[in-house]
A and B are shown apart, each in its own frame.
Chain A
Amino acid sequence: MASGALSTLAIATLAGALRVSTPFLFVSLGECLTEKSGRINLGNEGALVLGAMTAYAGSYLAGNPWLGVLVAATCGGLLGVLHAGLCSLTRINDIAMGIAIMLAGTGIAFFFGKPYVQPSAPLLPTLPLGLWSDSPQIRSALEVSPLFFIGIVIGIFMTWAFQNTRAGMVVRIVGDSADAARAMGLRINLVRFAATATGSALAGIGGAFLSLVYPGSWNEGLSSGQGLIAVALVVFARWEPLACIGAALLFGAAGALGPSLQTVGVSQGYYLFNAAPYLLTLVLMFIAVAPGRRMRGAPGELSIVR
């Protein structure tokens, strides 16, 4: 009996990890790209919420969820353009500006999102990868969204691109040494602009996952700070896209722990387990940023390490 409960718990946590991790994955990859170029964008939380709202609205109005994803990426990207544009002015602090963008993004989403709380929009299809199993639990656990795999592919692509493409190397140069970039005649602001906009668009897609896959609806409490956790996650992943994938899965599993325990009938300490991702963030940040040493792997131009 106990082993049955344990396997149920394991399956539920796995299923949760696959579902819950996707928004973390997209936001952290987006943030990773932006930070590699030497800028921090806390506004990605805003892009996530705005993406969720616009994806849902887009899907509802157009009747096609993939169109919703596209709308979310565009709106997220536009928010990134705003952040990048303002930060390229002199004497603008990217952290303070990021918080403003975050509030603006969520505010806009709440304002325009009111009419979409009630209606139900077409959701994204999922891939039934559990057909081989007889167990309905496993079948439902392995209903994986294609967005998850797209995220993994983007992560692998980014790792490859940072090593093997001109564009990827340029982003790293700009992010690590503005002096070197200037000496090479690179246009620093333009590179950061592109990296911020693209990163923010990825965060928008992460938002689309929230409203169009899991939980699969639009309301104002949808994100609960996942975009901010994803920023912390980039530090933990040492600015490596592949590590971002692993970290996102880990956080997804932590986030799924509370609901999974509920499915096996453990209801005590429910809220405590729901707090697992936040606790994990604290613990990991504490470990990752141990005092006495500077952050290894951090792009040299980030305002927090400079």
Chain B
Amino acid sequence: MRAIGVEAAGVTKRFGAFTALDDVSLKVRPGTVHALLGENGAGKSTFVKCLLGYYRADSGDFVIGDRQEAIAQPQDADRLGLGMVYQHFTLVPSMSAAENLVMARADVPRVIAWKAERKRLGEFMSRMPFKIPLDIALGMLAAGERQKAEILKQLYLQRRVIVLDEPTSTLTPQEAEDVLNLMRELATSGELTIIIITHKLKEVMAFADEVTVLRRGRMAGGGKVGELTAIDMTTMMIGAAHEPGTLTRSGDPEAAARLTIRDLRSLGDHGRAGLDIAALDVRPHEILGIAGVSGNGQRELMEVLGGQRPPTGGEIRVADRSYHARRNEMHALGVRLLPEEPLRNACAPGMSVIANLNLRTFDRTDNGARRFWLDRRRMAERGRTMIEMFGIRTPSPDAPIGALSGGNVQRSVLARELDGDVEVLIVANPCFGLDVKAVAEIRARIVAARNAGTAMLLISADLDELLELSDRIVVMCEGKIVYETPGTGADAHEIGRHMAGHA
């Protein structure tokens, strides 16, 4: 058996006064899949970074195989056969898989003999359970293929333990299943020991042998997956048994569409698919969910609707009036947007929270007329109201919004966008990277807006979120709408098949 075990005893890591990891011990048996489960900020990443030598633990020991090892830098982990597949890609996008694999080795010769290298790569690939194109720049490949390339790289480097950080966050359900099945097989055959960082219970239940749950940097529990129920694990994760609050959608969608898109086209970046949407309608009292693997035109759609990218053809109408994503039109037609990465796409990071909360209204009087001089007192008043209503945690209303946490930036932008009469709300990945409480709150606000009669377009990479919130779901693939289904009773696997382009 090539796989080796990993043991951690009393690992503690502090950043200043903050204790990110507090006396964490766990044991991973060789040739198993071990899940590290926890919320965002529970300390999962900190733990593996200590294991892989990116952080130095303040106290605690690691036993790799059967020897106690000091892992002071990434090279030490390398030498011991520990490797990691990161959440964000760490391969070079402009280089091919072949180039990436060869350069990942520690002993690259001064001049690379490509003929010999290619032959060796070919032999290596023939032993691999899946294939990827070796000669195309990785940036051109789909997310799933790139993820596979990351895993191939670890196998190429002959690792004995591989850590996967949220490996399925960018994959379709099928791709995720493929990758996890593959990891399982590698573990069962004794080739590898696998540690998976995840916050998805389903994955733990289906693919892991054992689980360790972290909460706020401490061990919250763990054991054999077969002996634990989903409720047990959720309880460990968030402290108390937690039923996901059922969101009630009230009121049926109206018949007439409020947002209509016809033959919309745009260019994409880096040779990726642009937009090519034949028809898309969103009605009042309706959440239309857009599913798809990221990089299939969702960002482009958001940018076109938000005025960040010019369309090259087609028409967008709101309430039967032509819409070109200009600020005046948004104001007149009640179009509001919550884009992904709101700090970058919807805020002026260096300006105060108050100023950012007033970005839509600072140049209008309360009855909508234009004004030249700002009414600073009114702005502050509005801002304070929103801060209070949405529970935005900020050191001061005058602090720069860039200093706020991700969740609070998200709340701020949502507060601003939900202010006033909202006819159309376009939202992209609203809960990305937020903790359970913030997620529940933001979803509740989105559904409340829908119930109040807003026509809502929800673009999300999280299929569960779409299934929970949407009245209707469409799938985007390579810039086109390829599938449509009612939200109630939608089949996740059917959606997944269309996401992957296997119609």
Contact = CB atoms under 8 A, between A and B. Distances in A.
Contact of B110 (A166, A179, A180): A166
Contact of A296 (B90, B103, B270): B270
Interface in B253-273: 266-271
B111 A299 contact: no
A180 B271 contact: no
B130 interface: no
21 contacts: A165-B110, A165-B111, A166-B108, A172-B92, A173-B103, A176-B92, A176-B94, A179-B89, A179-B90, A180-B91, A180-B92, A183-B86, A184-B103, A185-B75, A291-B310, A292-B309, A292-B310, A292-B312, A296-B271, A297-B94, A299-B94
The SS class assigned to the B binding surface is: loop
A293 B312 CA distance: 12
B104 interface: yes
A185 B74 contact: yes
Interface in B293-310: 309-310
A299 B312 CA distance: 27
A91 interface: no
Interface string B100-136: 0001100011111010000000000000000000000
Contacts of A167: 110
B95 interface: yes
A300 interface: yes
Nearest to A294: B269
B104 to A, nearest CB: 7
A300 B109 CA distance: 25
A292 B103 contact: no
A289 interface: no
B93 interface: yes
Interface of A: 163-167, 169-170, 172-173, 176-177, 179-180, 183-185, 291-294, 296-297, 299-300
Contacts of A165: 110-112
B88 interface: yes
B99 interface: yes
A170 B102 CA distance: 12
Interface string B73-99: 011000000000010111111110001
A170 B100 CA distance: 11
Given A169-B95, A169-B108, 16 more contacts: A164-B111, A165-B110, A165-B111, A166-B108, A166-B112, A172-B92, A176-B93, A177-B90, A185-B74, A185-B75, A291-B310, A293-B269, A294-B270, A296-B270, A299-B94, A300-B93
A177 B90 CA distance: 8
A60 to B, nearest CB: 40
B420 to A, nearest CB: 32
B91 A172 contact: no
A300 B94 contact: yes
A179 B91 CA distance: 8
A172 B108 CA distance: 15
B324 to A, nearest CB: 15
Given A180-B91, A180-B92, A296-B271, A169 B99 contact: yes
Contacts of A183: 74, 86, 90
A180 B90 contact: yes
Nearest to B95: A172
Interface string B228-267: 0000000000000000000000000000000000000011
A294 B272 CA distance: 11
Nearest to B103: A169
Contact of A177 (B74, B93, B269): B93
Interface string B197-234: 00000000000000000000000000000000000000
Contacts of A170: 103
Nearest to A298: B94
Nearest to A175: B94
A173 B90 CA distance: 10
A165 B113 CA distance: 9
A184 B268 CA distance: 30
B250 to A, nearest CB: 42
Given A179-B88, A180-B92, A299-B94, A169 B112 contact: yes
Given A179-B88, A294-B269, A294-B270, A184 B104 contact: yes
Contacts of B75: 185
The 7 closest A-B pairs by CB, nearest first: A183-B90, A292-B267, A176-B94, A294-B269, A166-B108, A180-B92, A180-B90
Contacts of B93: 176-177, 300
B468 to A, nearest CB: 33
Contact of A164 (B90, B92, B114, B269): B114
A184 B91 CA distance: 9
Nearest to B113: A164
A103 B88 CA distance: 40
B343 to A, nearest CB: 16
A163 B309 CA distance: 35
Interface in B309-340: 309-310, 312
B140 to A, nearest CB: 11
A44 to B, nearest CB: 23
Nearest to B90: A183
Contacts of B89: 179-180
A298 to B, nearest CB: 9
A293 to B, nearest CB: 5
Nearest to A293: B267
Interface centre among A163, A164, A166, A299 (most CB of B within 10 A): A166
Contacts of A296: 270-271
A306 B186 CA distance: 38
A176 B271 contact: no
Nearest to A292: B267
Nearest to B104: A184
Nearest to A299: B94
Contacts of A185: 74-75
A199 to B, nearest CB: 19
A299 B114 CA distance: 23
Contacts of B110: 165-167
A177 B92 contact: yes
B267 A164 contact: no
User: Which of B94, B109, B110, B267 gathers the greatest number of chain A CB atoms within 10 Å?
Assistant: B94
Contacts of B312: 292
B421 to A, nearest CB: 33
B109 A166 contact: yes
Contacts of B109: 166
Contacts of B95: 169, 172-173, 176
A172 B270 CA distance: 17
A173 B269 contact: no
Q: Which of A170, A180, A291, A292 has the most CB of B within 10 A?
A: A180
Contacts of A169: 95, 99, 103, 108, 112
Nearest to A160: B111
Nearest to A166: B108
